[in-house]
A and B are shown apart, each in its own frame.
Chain A
């Protein structure tokens, strides 16, 4: 495992690592004995022929590590490996160590489907942690349903989906949008909005929900404009001029990928001052700011469920462990944290069900609670999404966020919101 984490870099362990390794070795001499004594028999926990032995259980990690999406998915892979590492250090799941097989979706949706099939049919993975874009999830969904696998999907997404074979550890659209809009009208007195987005399903669905909420549920508020740009668009000067002309109280931006960088750089260059102009986004995490540059986005608000700067003991431990494993400069965004939940929730579910069988995991999932989540307490809903809090953060110069608001209670996931479609 310790060579795994340095892939592409120097493989020679440092002395410090050797010492840590040695310490782990001596600890593992005492721990597993205890664990395997308690471990239920393989026949009992695995009745459907999954890759489970007396000492090991195999899971899959399926993300893009090459191609355009590698930029976003890298953090998720890192978080999942960290979670698996930690679970193994604590003795594994049902007395079995987790072994993972990593496949590369290569930013190509048919490849995702093919690799998903390989992980389920050939490798018999008990669970798969993976996918990032909605397109890749839609591509693997029929595979998981046909071969009865279990997918833990980390990204916040547009909703309108629910499956027995998927646990959605990110927020669906209403969890990310409604509380943020309520907050901005309440505290900033905002009345007018300009909606922007990249031109594909997630921003369009999200802006549709935002518009419905603004027009139907927020007193006296209206949308001044709504606009979409092709993915990869790098020129935003025209829309920036339109914003200057219409003077909205809030710019509501759901621009993704490289376009994001171009948008904020040009916004800054055009002299839009984020200490005066409110900008609320649901598509910029600490990961994106790495590319945008803190100086270009400082002052903007982002609506997420997790920020690296969250001040709670779980998160402190998580950030420290993450930095120890992947380097102190690595930033942790919302999705990275959601990816970290995947293996942990699966472990808790398997322990609750007392089995690795997919059907039993699916049935046992609702109600599973994870108290150690970096974002704070979360719970799986009947609809396989998570109850979680919505938070608003304000971007700082150093690329981190100051958390300025969080909902008092967990927000119920509602992937099929009535009145918003």
Chain B
């Protein structure tokens, strides 16, 4: 396959392929972050995670419309406003979900699985009723499209760079919140021993609610960012959910670092395999690798010591 190509050609492809792997990595981290902090903190697997992402995507769609219709002057910057709106709306929906649904089911973790799955179906049908069954196209301002010409043969996608930057910022914020804020301290205390944390005066209910809201809000931002690379339709959340679970489970439930490491492993092996094999085979092999590693380390890559 490489016989006819010059060394320069191959190098630039290698560079672009490396960049493709990095984009995939950022996408995975962004998808999984919200789910990981919820799962890590409360042991709740939020099956509706994908739908919270799509909620964010629809908010982006609405914001873009509003900007186009009422304030076209600021259109080129609408995306930042859209992400904020997505975070607030998805986060608020998350808080409401926790209050109405999840908190009644803490004693029954398996039932939360079923309840959030039901919620995901309800949300999908709600999107369908409100926005229509067809896909909506989210337009991007011109500066976010196309690619940067780095050298003659190397091109770097602008929206890829954008996603990477965004992932870096969000991960940074979450890390600071987790390890440098009072709320983060409480979260970590609840994770390692829920009963004792309650006994020393931490309002575990409140911590739970905020965590769930934050997780869903981040999902909203992710959904907003993914309008650049994917589709926005009522059931599009389903496209992301499998990969998201994979990243979270593989990374180990309670660890931010684990999520990042697992996203890195999966994305790099997948994008490298995709290049040498075909798309479907790459997926199969990636899954096999993950299963193999999980057999060796059932808790995932990184595990916190938790007292039960």
Q: Do A and B bind each other?
A: yes
Interface positions of A (Cβ within 8 A of B): 8, 65-68, 70-71, 74, 199, 226-230, 232-235, 237-242, 244-245, 257-262, 265-266, 268-271, 287-295
Is there an interface contact between A270 and B157, defined as CB atoms closer than 8 Å? yes
Per-residue interface assignment for chain B, residues 21 to 36, with 1 indicating a CB less than 8 Å from any chain A CB and 0 otherwise: 0011001000000000
User: Given the complex of chains A and B, what is the CA–CA distance between A75 and B5 in angstroms?
Assistant: 47
Tell me, rounded to whole Å, the shortest Cβ–Cβ distance linking B245 to chain A.
14
B120 contacts A by Cβ under 8 Å: no
B:249-292 near A, CB below 8 Å: 270-271, 274-275, 278-280, 282-283
Taking the complex as formed, is B139 at the interface, i.e. its CB lies under 8 A from any CB of chain A? yes
B residues with CB within 8 A of A: 5, 9, 13, 16-17, 19-20, 23-24, 27, 125, 128-129, 132-139, 145-147, 149, 155, 157-160, 226, 228-236, 238-240, 270-271, 274-275, 278-280, 282-283
Structural contact, B145 and A295, CB atoms closer than 8 A? yes
A89 to B226 alpha-carbon distance, docked (Å)? 46
Partner of A262, one of B19, B134, B229, B238: B229
Report the separation of the CA atoms of residues A229 and B274 in the bound assembly, to the nearest whole angstrom.
Answer: 10
Known: A241-B13, A266-B157. A258 touches B239 (CB 8 A): yes
Q: Which residues of B lie under 8 Å from residue A262 when comparing CB positions?
A: 229-231
9 pairs from A and B in contact (CB 8 Å cutoff): A234-B226, A234-B239, A235-B23, A235-B271, A238-B274, A241-B275, A269-B228, A287-B134, A295-B145
Q: Which 5 A-B pairs have the closest CB atoms?
A: A291-B135, A261-B231, A237-B20, A238-B274, A229-B279
Complex: chain A residue closest to B232, CB-CB? A291
Q: Which residue of chain B has the shortest Cβ distance to A77 in the bound complex?
A: B133
Point out which of A241, A257, A289, A294 has the most chain B C-beta atoms below 10 A from its C-beta: A241
| Interface residue from B19, B159, B233, B283 paired with A230 (Cβ < 8 Å) | B283
- A245: chain B residues within 8 A (beta carbon): 5, 9, 13
| Given A258-B236, A265-B229, A291-B137, also A228-B280 (CB < 8 A) | yes
* Neighbouring A residues of B235 by C-beta, 8 Å: 67-68, 71, 258
Beyond A74-B133, A244-B16, A291-B134, whether A268 also contacts B233 by CB under 8 A is: no
Name the A residues within 8 Å of B139 (CB-CB).
293, 295
Q: Given A70, A233, A234, which contacts B133 in the complex, CB threshold below 8 Å?
A: A70
Contact between B13 and A71, CB atoms less than 8 A apart: no
CA distance A230 to B246 in the complex (A): 16
Contacts of B236 in A (CB 8 A): 258
| Residues B275 and A238 in contact, CB atoms below 8 Å apart | yes
CB-nearest residue of chain B to A287: B134
Q: Take A67-B235, A238-B274, A244-B13 as given contacts and tell me if A261 and B135 are in contact as well, using a CB distance cutoff of 8 Å.
A: yes
**Nearest CB in chain A: distance from B18 CB, A:** 10
Please tell me if the beta carbons of B24 and A237 are within 8 angstroms of each other in the complex: yes
Q: Known pairs A234-B226, A260-B231, A265-B159. 18 more at Cβ < 8 A?
A: A8-B129, A70-B234, A228-B278, A233-B239, A235-B23, A235-B24, A235-B271, A240-B20, A258-B233, A261-B135, A266-B157, A269-B229, A271-B157, A290-B137, A291-B137, A292-B135, A293-B139, A295-B139
Tell me, in angstroms, the Cα distance from A28 to B233 when the chains sit together: 41
> Distance in Å from the Cβ of B202 to the closest Cβ of chain A?
39
Q: A199-B279, A290-B135 are in contact. Are A239 and B9 (CB under 8 A)?
A: no
Shortest Cβ distance from A235 into B: residue: B24
Set B5, B135, B155, B239: member contacting A270, Cβ < 8 A:
B155
A344 to B291, CA, bound (A): 54
Q: A238: which of B9, B20, B146, B157 is its contact (CB, 8 Å)?
A: B20
Q: How far is A68 from B51 in the complex, measured between Cα atoms in Å?
A: 13
Could you tell me the distance between the alpha carbons of A289 and B137 in the complex, rounded to whole angstroms?
8
Q: How many angstroms from the CA of A370 to the CA of B70 in the assembled complex?
A: 47
Give chain A residues whose Cβ lies under 8 Å from the Cβ of B5: 245
Our pick among B138, B230, B270, B279 for the contact of A258 (Cβ within 8 Å) is B230
Residues of chain B within 8 A (CB-CB) of A268 are: 145-146
Closest to A74 in B: B133
A65 touches B133 (CB 8 A): yes
- Interface pair B27/A235, CB less than 8 Å apart: yes
Cα–Cα, bound, A258→B235 (Å): 9
Q: Which of B132, B149, B228, B279 has the most CB of A within 10 A?
A: B279
Which of A234, A242, A269, A293 makes the CB contact (< 8 A) with B147?
A: A269
The verdict on A291 contacting B233 (CB below 8 Å), with A229-B279, A234-B239 known, is yes
Chain A positions within 8 Å of B270 at CB level: 235
- Residues from chain B with a CB closer than 8 A to the CB of A229 are 279-280
